[in-house]
Amino acid sequence: MSNIEQEINKRRTFAIISHPDAGKTTLTEKFLLYGGAINLAGSVKGKATARHAVSDWMEIEKERGISVTSSVLQFNYDGYCINILDTPGHQDFSEDTYRTLMAADSAVMVIDGAKGVEPQTRKLFKVCGMRGIPIFTFINKMDRDANDTFELLDEIEKELGIATCPINWPIGCGKVFKGVYDRQKREVVTYSDTEKGTKEGETSIISIDDEDKVTAAIGEERKSILFDEIELLDGASAEYDLDAIQSGKLTPVFFGSALTNFGVEIFLQYFLKMTTTPLPRKSGDNMIDPVKNDFSAFVFKIQANMNKAHRDRIAFMRICSGKYDANMEVKHVQGGKTMRLSRPQQIMADERKILDEAYGGDIIGVFDPGIFSIGDTLCMPKDNIKYEGIPTFAPEHFARVRQIDTMKRKQFIKGVTQIAQEGAIQIFQEYNTGMEEIIVGVVGVLQFEVLKYRLENEYNVEIRLEPLPYEHIRWIVSYDTELDKIVGTSDMKKIKDLKDRPLLLFINEWSVGMTLDRNKGLELSEFGT
């Protein structure tokens, strides 16, 4: 086996998804703790003196206690090289999560044991389903009072339409949470409390057949309930089937508490065995093999001003195949140019490490002088690879942006343009006035707040946002006469995007159909690419 094949085979690249407050950031932090990437886990939303979770790096995230951007974290554990893509939990940032899932080979879904399947979980799950990627479920917060365990499984199956296979089973919850039962090894695992943020807790493992020891560890009542539940489980839950897991049809379920470390390492160990090495990717009619093909990658995220001192832009790439060497020349397919990637780095939230090499499955960040767009492909100069583009979500909320100080026009245009290139917001111009009138469209209203905050803090520009009543946007796919002659409805507005393509905004959905009826040959689309 070649060195490249060995390196790629030990890579595991996954995204962590959840509804806000399900404990995703805490779980990520505990993974890093086990991998030795950090020494002390701090409470994410703790006091100012507490260390923030390394995955939330933007100032607004620390102030609000929410993740608004996706972070990339890499660490080694037990012979594996693990790339975690941490995603925003808040639904207003679901577009960023969608793009991140394009770069992952599997997803870990974190569910709050007391809340079950929440709206954002459903939305994210649909995205995973569209891509057919394996989903691993971690039911968190078992150290608090939780819903009935069988009901939680039932809810996942009904709400998300996926079969469940519990790999371990909780013994109690809340104050009487004793640990978990490992179904495959037939062992009861109990823990001492490691809430202080260290990973060294006392673990005791007892065979389920040693009934006296089980009784001594968890008590007669708990043992009796556990034995009944095991019997029920063995008759009712789906059989363990690795092929079904890897094709996204069956989700293995784990229980635990990220805060107190209950069940976290067991989950990590099983997950690494069940998840796949980096998967082949589609380029036209061809599948690009991670090992057999030379270097190729695609850009799934662009982030400006990660370092306030340097005012830089980082393009995040998922390496799909081969080995990347810092000295090699690569082809930027969309730009049609051969180039050396500038300052390739591995980024641990806001900490950086310059890389000499990286392999299929890895995520790297490169300095972007403004040439990359989301969805761009990079490959070797001799190759002809072009990965599928990443679709743009249609914004659902619109506002006109006004500068408070018109003397700062240059910074204002630079700021909104750069933030738009990251894909978090979309900016449009009035149809005939160019950049004089700027309209911003977002998927979730919280993005407006982030835009305002970032323009003030990163570009020193104050803005006022005037909400607009439009809720529906359509790109014009084809039309054989002049756009000025489109006969619309009274609630329709013509605008252009940054690529100068014409679009239509509507207040009412029925106006879309009426406009199509009135203009023969007009074709509209909900997606821009």
Q: Are residues 374 and 413 in the same domain?
A: no
Q: Are residues 316 and 401 in the same domain?
A: no
Longest dimension (CA), the chain: 85
User: Are 81 and 35 in contact, with CB atoms under 8 Å apart?
Assistant: no
- What b/e readout covers 356-369, taking b as 16+ CB neighbours within 10 angstroms? eebbbbbbbbbebe
Q: Pick from 230, 251, 274: which residue ends a domain? A: 274
Q: Are residues 93 and 209 in the same domain?
A: yes
Q: Are residues 346 and 250 in the same domain?
A: no
pTM of the model: 0.77
Give me the number of domains the chain comprises. Answer: 3
Q: Are residues 63 and 136 in the same domain?
A: yes
Can you read off the two tokens belonging to residue 434? 């160019």
29 φ, ψ to 5°? -60, -40
Q: Pick from 241, 256, 274: which residue ends a domain? A: 274
Of the candidates 204, 213, 380, 264, the residue with the CA atom closest to the CA atom of residue 31:
264
Q: Are residues 257 and 304 in the same domain?
A: no
Q: Are residues 293 and 248 in the same domain?
A: no
| Amino acid at site 512 | V
41, 42, 44, 49 alpha-carbon torsion, rounded to 10°? -160
What are the residues facing 364 on neighbouring strands? 317
**Domain containing residue 312:** 281-379
| Spatial separation of the C-alpha atoms in residues 21 and 89, rounded to whole Å | 8
| Spatial separation of the C-alpha atoms in residues 265 and 31, rounded to whole Å | 8
CB-based contacts of 393, cutoff 8 Å, min separation 6: 94, 95, 98, 443, 527
Handedness of CA 45, 313, 419, 73 (dihedral sign): negative
Q: Are residues 159 and 116 in the same domain?
A: yes
What's the Cα-to-Cα distance from 162 to each of 123, 220, 241, 326, 399, rounded to whole Å?
A: 14, 35, 13, 42, 39
CB-based contacts of 65, cutoff 8 Å, min separation 6: 44, 45
| Spatial separation of the C-alpha atoms in residues 21 and 66, rounded to whole Å | 8
DSSP SS3 for 218: helix
pLDDT confidence of residue 378: 96
With respect to residue 32, please indicate whether it lies within any of the assigned structural domains.
yes
Q: Are residues 323 and 346 in the same domain?
A: yes
User: Are 441 and 505 in contact, with CB atoms under 8 Å apart?
Assistant: no
Q: Are residues 268 and 292 in the same domain?
A: no
Of the candidates 420, 402, 208, the residue with the CA atom closest to the CA atom of residue 304:
420
Q: Are residues 260 and 352 in the same domain?
A: no
Rounded CA Rg of the chain: 25
Of the candidates 33, 6, 11, 24, the residue with the CA atom closest to the CA atom of residue 105:
11
| Spatial separation of the C-alpha atoms in residues 204 and 468, rounded to whole Å | 60
Q: Residue 383, Cβ neighbours under 10 Å: how many?
A: 20
- What b/e readout covers 399-410, taking b as 16+ CB neighbours within 10 angstroms? bebebeeeebee
* pLDDT beneath 70: ranges in the chain: 37-71, 88-95, 120, 192-202, 304-311, 347-351, 391-393, 433-436, 481, 527-529
User: Can you tell me which residue has the tokens 């996954």?
Assistant: 14
Q: Pick from 346, 379, 412: which residue ends a domain? A: 379
Q: Are residues 45 and 161 in the same domain?
A: yes
- pLDDT single digits (tens) 390-408: 766 678 889 999 988 888 8
pLDDT confidence of residue 66: 43
What's the Cα-to-Cα distance from 309 to each of 169, 205, 450, 458, rounded to whole Å?
A: 49, 51, 20, 10
pLDDT confidence of residue 332: 95
What's the Cα-to-Cα distance from 479 to each of 432, 503, 509, rounded to whole Å?
A: 18, 12, 20
pLDDT confidence of residue 252: 96
| Spatial separation of the C-alpha atoms in residues 110 and 264, rounded to whole Å | 12
pLDDT confidence of residue 358: 92
pLDDT confidence of residue 90: 45
Q: Residue 41, Cβ neighbours under 10 Å: how many?
A: 24
User: Are 340 and 414 in contact, with CB atoms under 8 Å apart?
Assistant: no
